[in-house]
Structure 1
C-alpha cells in the first residue's frame, strides 16, 4: 500500500529521484505533497515544476544539476512523463533526449530531489527508459484501492482527522459514498469537524450527514424492485430522477447490480466466502455482504428474466422519441 511508501519517505526524505505512477490521482497528489513536506528546508513555494508534455526532459536535468541558491536542496516536479508509457500515434508533442535521461538517472544530482509523475494505469515495461527509471528511482504506485485496502485507508484517514471508526463502519461509509478517494476524504473531514476531537463515527452520524451516492441508491432501487415493493421502488426511482439521473444510465446500473447478484449466488454455491467473492469479482466486500445477507434473494431464473427484460428496456429507451422516464416507470410497475 501507499502508506508503506509514505513511511519510507519520512524515514529517508532525501531520495534523489522518485517515480509516482498509477491512475488514482488523489493518492498521487497526497504522495507528492508528502514528499515535499518531508524534504528538509523546502516549502511549497520553493518547488520547481515542469510539464513534460510541453518541456523537454533535458531542461529538468539542467535544473537538477544547477546548485540550489540559498538552500541545501531543491525539489523539482516533472509532470506527465508520457515517454514511460506505450506511444500513442499523433500524441507526442515533444522530442525528449531519452539517452541523456537514462545516463543521468544512473548518476543523479546529489543536491536535488526530482519527482517524475506518470499518472497512467500502466507503463510500457518493454522500453529501456522504463527499466532504467524503475531501477534508479524510488517507485510509488498509486493505483485505485478496493476492498480491504480501501477500508483500511478510510480508517487511517479517520485517525489522521482525529476521529475513530470501526472496520464495519468504514465499509458502510464506502458503500454510502462510493470508492472515489477524494470524495471519501471530504466526507471524513466533514464528519470529523462535526464530531470534534476523539469522536467516533457511527452509522447514525453517516446517515445524517453523508449524501448517498447514485450507485448506492441504484442498489436500493434494485433491491426493492426484486423484493416486489413497487411503492418503495417508484419512490426511490423518482428521487433519482430529481437528482438528475438518466433512465438509460439507471438501466445499465440496475443490470450491473442484477449480474452481481447472479455472480455472488454462483460463487456462494461453489463454496466461496465473502472476501473471496469480493476479490474474484473486484467489488467492495460490503456490496457482497449485502447481497449475501439479503433474505429476499430471488432465484437465478428470476434474476435472468429481469436481466432479459432490462435488455429490452435498454433497447426501447435508446430508440424511443417519447418520455424515457415513463418507459422505465412502467417497467417498475409491472409485476415480476
Structure 2
C-alpha cells in the first residue's frame, strides 16, 4: 500500500524513477509532497526542484535536465506531469516526444536525479513498450479509489502515523460521518489524533463529538432517520442545516440524489447485479452503495416511486412558486414520515 512507499521515502531510500498514476489525486499529491520534503532541504529547492508539463514540453528537454549535475546538494527532483504517451486516451498533443531516448534513460537512469512521472489517468496502456519498460523499472504508486476494506486500513495507518490507535467501532463511525474523501478523512484523523495525544487511543465518543459532518453526510443521516421513522431527529438535522445557512434548494438536490441512488441500487440489485458491479455501473464509491442498499431494503417499489414524484413536485414548487422554500422541505419530510 501507499504507506510502504512513504516509509521508504521517509527513510531516504529513494528510487531513481517513480510512476504515480491514477485518479485519486490526494495520494499523488501526498506522495509528491513526501518526496519534496525528504529529498531536498529548503536551500536546494530553488536549484534542484523542477516540473515539466509533457503536454507542453518535449521529453528530451526534461531528460537533458535529468542528466545535468545538480547545482547544489546531492540530487535533483524532477516531476513530469501529464505523460499522455503512457495511455490510450486521445489527447491533443502539442509536442513530439523522443520515446526511444526515454527508453534508454529508463534502462540507465541518472544516479543524481529522481524522476517522477505523474499520470492522472485511470488506466495506462499496458500494450505500449514504453509503459512496460517504465512499470518494469520504476517504483509504482497506483492511486486508485480505495474500497471499504482499504479505507478502513487507511484510517488505521493514518492514526498510527500520528502515534495513536483507533478502535474498530470508531473506524466505522468515521466512514459513516465523514464519507470516503481522503482529504476529509485525513483531516479528521489528524484532528482526532491531536486531541487524543500521542500514545493514546481514538474512541467512538471522540468521533461523535469532534468529526465534522459534510452536507452530504448530514443529509444521508437525515434520510436514515426518516427510514427508521425518527421524524423529530430528522427535523433537528434539517433545522441545523438551515442554521448553517445551507440553501434549501441545495439540500433538496442532495436529498433527491440520495433517493435516486436508493432507487437505482434497488432496481439493479433486482436485476442480479452485485454491489461492486452496481458501484462500477453508477460510478459511485462501493461504501455508498453498501449504505444505500441497506436503506433500499426498507422501501417498497411503489413507495420509492411515490417519493421520487413528491421530490419532483417539491423541486418544481421551489423553483416556480411563491411558497416558503424551507417549509416545502419540511412538508416533504412530514409526508415521507406519514407515508
TM-score greater than 0.5 by the shorter chain: yes
Q: CA RMSD in A?
A: 3.6
Instruction: Quote the offset at 1:238 in angstroms.
Output: 2.8
- Given that 2:23 and 2:121 are in contact with CA atoms closer than 8 Å, whether structure 1 keeps it comes out as yes
- Which residue does 1:88 correspond to in 2? 91
Q: Say yes or no: does 1:78 pair with 2:80.
A: yes
Once structures 1 and 2 are overlaid, which stretch shifts more, 280-289 or 210-219? 280-289
Answer whether contact 1:248 1:317 (CA < 8 A) is retained: yes
Following TM superposition, by how much is the alpha carbon of 1:165 offset from its aligned partner in structure 2, in angstroms? 0.6
Per-residue deviation at 1:158? 0.6
In structure 2, distance between residues paired with 1:70 and 1:48 = 11
Structure 2 SS opposite 1:76: strand
Distance apart, 1:2 and its partner CA: 2.0
The 1:269–1:58 alpha-carbon spacing in structure 2 relative to 1, beyond 3 Å, is: closer
Closer, same or farther: CA 78–232 of 1 in aligned 2, 3 Å: same
What's the CA shift for 1:112?
1.6
Gap regions ≥5 residues in structure 2: none
Over residues 146-166 of structure 1, what are the superposed CA-to-partner deviations in whole Å (9 max), with x where a residue is unaligned?
A: 311011101111111121112
Worse-matched range after superposition: 157-166 or 63-72: 63-72
Equivalent residue number for residue 64 of structure 2:
62
CA contact (8 A) 2:18 2:138 kept: yes
Distance 1:284 1:209, change over 3 A: farther
Q: How many residues align?
A: 327
> Deviation of residue 205 (structure 1)?
0.9
Q: CA deviation at 1:101?
A: 2.7
**Bigger CA drift: 23-32 or 95-104?**
95-104
Separation in 1 of the partners of 2:128 and 2:319? Answer: 44
Aligned partner of 1:142 in structure 2 is 143
Task: State whether residues 23 and 142 of structure 1, in contact with CA within 8 Å, keep that contact through their aligned partners in structure 2.
Answer: yes
Aligned in 2, Cα 1:331/1:55: closer, same or farther, shift over 3 Å? Answer: same
Equivalences for residues 183-222 of structure 1 within 5 A = 183-222=184-223
Equivalent residue runs for 1:1-336 within 5 Å:
1-6=1-6, 13-36=13-36, 39=39, 42-43=40-41, 45-46=44-45, 47-52=48-53, 53-69=55-71, 71-85=73-87, 86-89=89-92, 92-125=93-126, 129-259=130-260, 261=262, 277=275, 281=279, 283=285, 285=287, 288=290, 292=294, 297-317=298-318, 323-334=324-335, 335-336=338-339
Deviations 1:125-177 (A, max 9, x none): 56554444334432211122231101110111111112111222112112211
Tell me the secondary structure at the aligned position of residue 172 of structure 2.
helix
Residue 306 of structure 1 and its aligned partner are, at CA, apart by 1.5
8 Å CA contact retained: 1:58, 1:96: yes
- Give the 3 Å change call, closer, same or farther, for CA 311–245 of structure 1 in structure 2: same
Deviates more, 1:150-159 or 1:195-204: 195-204
Give the superposition deviation at 1:111.
2.6
CA distance in 2, matches of 1:106, 1:233: 61
